[in-house]
Copies of this chain bind each other. A is one copy, B any other.
Amino acid sequence: MAKGDDNVVFIGKKGIMSYVLAVVTQFNNGEDEVIIKARGKAINRAVDVAEVVKQRFVQAANTTDIKISTEEIEGDEGIVKVSAIEITLDKG
């Protein structure tokens, strides 16, 4: 894994708690900051993950940065644009 990607959690199709656990594990392993990334329909689940981490597991954690953007993805029918989000959580 490229350096600097260690503290990134990509939100896919698993249950919310899988990703919550991934974030909490990163903090427990000494990361001060974890970046939660998601695209398209996974975006609302990225927000759920950040909120569950803050409310139930790492109460001192803060959302220090949230970025939204448009990414171009090459699909079967050419290039499609999808929205993306990056939520930075600080251990606090």
| Interface status of A17 (Cβ within 8 A of chain B) | no
Q: Are B44 and A70 in contact (CB under 8 A)?
A: no
**Contact flags A61-84 to B (C-beta < 8 A → 1, else 0):** 001001111100000000001011
Add 13 more A-B contacts to A40-B44, A43-B43, A48-B83 (CB < 8 A). A41-B44, A43-B47, A44-B44, A44-B83, A47-B68, A47-B85, A51-B68, A51-B83, A55-B70, A55-B81, A63-B67, A63-B68, A68-B87
In the complex, 15 of the A-B residue pairs with CB atoms within 8 angstroms, ordered by the A residue number, are A41-B44, A43-B47, A44-B44, A44-B83, A47-B68, A47-B83, A47-B84, A47-B85, A51-B68, A51-B70, A51-B83, A55-B70, A66-B67, A66-B68, A68-B87
